[in-house]
């Protein structure tokens, strides 16, 4: 149940929440049963957005015509109540305030689509920073700053080295100059 949930949730989120896959790919995944179509259909309904399995909402599967304990909201349980569905391993898939973010409490309850989107965003930011650093002339990767003086060399200068401050100021001025040039180019292109 947990792997099925994670696989289905990934495809669902990539289509409905983030729009990263096309309708054709989404329909193909449902048609070929890569994802659980019934579970995905339930996620679209209010109150079922975190449902762990269609098994837990079928009253024929439980005594007295009820549903699984994991569907009971946390606010209706005792404060120290630790629940887990014996069939699915879900620790609470009821919607609402106080509900769990990771419904299984392990690696299968993670929202992998959100993790992938955040990684892509971080990679884009790093690439933009790298490109900006190239424009300014800064090294893009990690650098090792080594002092030319060895352990035996004594630096008896009483003056402090202000060269690094001057270099940083020059880089900042160069960056501001480049930004102004880009803004002027954009304004000319808009006009």
What proportion of the chain, given as a percentage, has pLDDT over 70?
Answer: 80
Mean pLDDT of 14-40: 94
Q: Which of 25-29, 127-131, 172-176 has the lowest mean pLDDT?
A: 172-176
Q: Which of residues 41 and 162 earns the better pLDDT score? A: 41
User: pLDDT confidence of 141, banded at 50, 70, 90?
Assistant: low
Q: Which of residues 32 and 183 earns the better pLDDT score? A: 32
User: pLDDT confidence of 125, banded at 50, 70, 90?
Assistant: very high
pLDDT at site 186: 75
- Dist. CA 124–CA 105, nearest whole Å: 30
User: pLDDT confidence of 164, banded at 50, 70, 90?
Assistant: low
For residue range 38-79, list pLDDT tens digits in order.
999 999 998 888 899 899 998 888 888 888 888 888 788 877
- pTM for this predicted structure: 0.62
pLDDT at site 157: 47
- Dist. CA 173–CA 136, nearest whole Å: 10
- Dist. CA 32–CA 164, nearest whole Å: 62
For residue range 97-120, list pLDDT tens digits in order.
767 777 887 777 778 888 888 899
Residues 6+ apart with CB under 8 A from 155: 149
- Dist. CA 43–CA 140, nearest whole Å: 44
């Amino acid at each position: 149940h947990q792997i099925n949930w994670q696989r289905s949730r990934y495809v669902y989120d990539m289509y409905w929440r983030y729009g990263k896959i096309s309708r054709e790919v989404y329909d193909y995944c449902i048609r070929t049963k890569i994802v659980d179509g019934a579970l995905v259909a339930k996620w679209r309904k209010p109150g079922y957005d975190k449902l762990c399995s269609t098994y837990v909402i079928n009253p024929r599967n439980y005594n007295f015509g009820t549903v699984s304990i994991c569907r009971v909201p946390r606010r209706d349980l005792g404060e120290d109540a630790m629940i887990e569905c014996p069939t699915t391993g879900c620790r609470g898939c009821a919607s609402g305030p106080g509900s769990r973010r990771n419904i299984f409490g392990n690696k299968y309850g993670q929202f992998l689509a959100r993790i992938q989107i955040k990684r892509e965003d971080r990679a884009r930011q790093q690439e933009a920073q790298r490109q900006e650093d190239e424009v300014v002339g800064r090294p893009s990767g990690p650098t090792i700053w080594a002092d030319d003086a060895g352990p035996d060399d004594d630096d008896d200068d009483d003056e402090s080295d202000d060269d690094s401050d001057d270099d940083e100021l020059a880089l900042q001025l160069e960056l501001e100059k480049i930004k102004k040039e880009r803004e002027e180019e954009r304004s000319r292109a808009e006009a």
